[in-house]
Amino acid sequence: MSASQLSVVAYGHGKVNMYFAVGAPEANGYHPVASLYASTSLKETISIHSTKNTGITLSAEVASDSLLDQMQQDGVFDLSVVPLDSRNLAYRAAEAVLHEHGLGTHDVAFRIHLVKAVPVAGGMGGGSADAAATIRAVDEFLLKSSMTTSLLPDSAYHRIAASLGADIPFALHTGIAIGSGVGDQLQPLELPSTVEPLPVVLVSSAQGLSTPTVFHELDRGRMHGDYPPAEDVLAVPDGLLEALVADTAPIARLYEISRYIRNDLGAPACTLAPELTKVLGIESEGLIASFVSGSGPTIVLLMDSAEEAQKLASSLRRRGGYAIAAYLQ
């Protein structure tokens, strides 16, 4: 394939935090956390295409049959909110990869095309998924176009990811991992091949929430006693880790997992978007637990089976909601 025809495709998965304990802000303004990341079956598709014009350009579309597609068809989501310039994390990721190879944007001519499926400002790390996939895709593109002689090491991928955002190192991978520090220090959790992925329904909202705003509300509320205070020692409970790897009856495993689900950003997100409490209060056959994904407003409904997840998602859509059945990997 000639350079003029070259294209590379990569994928980035949205995430949820099954456990998210947040400490008091440090002097630099960042919060230490104890997180259990889980990637979802919702994924962004990133493709890199050669162009005739020098530099990096961006384009985007909404994935069909996705949560974003549901919202766009209902007129509550406009793709124009996704910046197609240097403000986009994918663009910044591409620049960082070029820099690692001693290159600049003037040395290349390609377009980054985003196929968006993960809710924007939904607490699922869609932008982080784009950036992580772009890191890999651009590196492969440079190799295939003979602009470099080798791929960057994984350590460089992680360094680039951590420099762009706390969630991006996890987005480089799929599966489940413990996150510490600001969430960028990762310890993967290996699940036995015999355990099933966790079935969920993801419910989106027309109102996006800014992650810094939700953290600010958490700090404000803790100062006034509205939320439980920050803990001095942050750790993902051993019980949750044991439940995730337990090769027991699926329903028993799911109920044991649900005992430990926690998100310190859930209550602040509900303060900022009170309508979330209605979704969190849903009662349905097969529903085991409900919680806010990251900084919200996406809600995760943990189900006892994929069949019940499909039924509930369909029911919510018929009632005017934005919902999709998925699973945590």
Q: What angle do CA 199, 272, 177 make, to 5 degrees?
A: 35
- Strands 55-62, 322-328: pairing is unpaired
Count of alpha carbons within 13 Å of 308, Cβ hemisphere only?
15
Angstrom distance (rounded) from CA 203 to CA 279: 8
Q: Say whether 52 is catalytic.
A: no
Q: Say whether 15 is catalytic.
A: yes
* Coil/strand/helix, residue 306: helix
Q: Where do runs of H (alpha helix) occur along the chain?
A: 67-73, 89-100, 126-144, 154-164, 168-171, 211-223, 238-245, 250-258, 266-272, 276-280, 306-318
Active-site position among 69, 130, 167, 264: 167
Q: What angle do CA 111, 12, 36 make, to 5 degrees?
A: 150
Is residue 323 within a helix (H) or strand (E), and if so which, with residue range?
Answer: strand 322-328
Amino acid of residue 29: G
Active-site position among 15, 130, 184, 264: 15
Nearest to 1 by CA among 46, 53, 50: 50
Radius of gyration for the alpha carbons in the chain, expressed in angstroms and rounded: 20
Q: Which token pair is 208?
A: 């996006």
Q: Are 40 and 198 in contact (CB under 8 A)?
A: no
Asked if omega into 83 is within 30° of 0 (cis), the reply is no
Question: Please, what's the largest Cα pairwise distance for the chain?
Answer: 63
Catalytic sites, residue numbers? 15, 167
